């Protein structure tokens, strides 16, 4: 049965493929604890300003990450002296990040193979 693209399968306006946000958040947290706005900014800067993470998708993704035990959170004070929640990768999050990176590499290689040989 052929795959048919539907609107929900399309890449969102921010250029981020569906399901990539959690992996990007985990990868950014791998470098150390950050608060939500800093996570979004870091993804934006590291993507050469291509990817934008809006609050409406960032905080639900962070909540799922917390519920799955991939990160922990604690309150602290930001560099602008505001009370913010800092997120830190857990050992389970490290393991999940590695699994997601492995899956991403496998799929990317498969796509590249098709593009080179088709």
Q: Dihedral (C-alpha) 74, 78, 81, 85: value to the nearest 10 degrees?
A: -30
Q: Supply the CATH number for residue 46's domain.
A: 1.10.10.10
Find the mean pLDDT for residues 32-37.
Answer: 96
The verdict on residue 43 lying in a domain is yes
Q: Rounded to whole angstroms, how far apart are CA atoms 29 and 22?
A: 11
The verdict on residue 1 lying in a domain is no
Round the CA-based radius of gyration of the chain to a whole number and report it: 16
Range of the domain at 81: 15-117
- Name the 3-class secondary structure at 35: strand
Tally of domains within the chain: 1
Structure tokens at 45: 């800067």
Which tens digit of pLDDT belongs to each residue from 74-86? 999 998 999 999 9
Q: What percent of the chain has pLDDT over 90?
A: 81
Is residue 40 over pLDDT 50?
A: yes
The verdict on residue 10 lying in a domain is no
Please tell me the pTM assigned to this model.
Answer: 0.82
Is residue 47 over pLDDT 60?
A: yes
Is residue 15 over pLDDT 70?
A: no
The verdict on residue 9 lying in a domain is no
């Amino acid at each position: 049965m052929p795959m048919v693209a539907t609107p929900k399968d399309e890449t969102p306006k921010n250029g981020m493929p569906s399901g990539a946000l959690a992996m990007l958040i985990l990868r950014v947290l791998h470098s150390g604890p950050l608060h939500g706005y800093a996570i979004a900014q870091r993804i934006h800067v590291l993507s050469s300003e291509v990817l934008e993470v809006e609050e409406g998708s960032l905080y639900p993704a962070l909540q799922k990450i917390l519920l799955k035990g991939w990160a922990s959170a604690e309150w602290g004070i930001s560099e602008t002296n505001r009370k913010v929640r800092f997120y830190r990768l857990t050992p389970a999050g490290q393991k999940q990040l590695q699994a997601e990176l492995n899956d991403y590499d496998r799929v990317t290689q498969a796509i590249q193979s098709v593009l080179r040989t088709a």
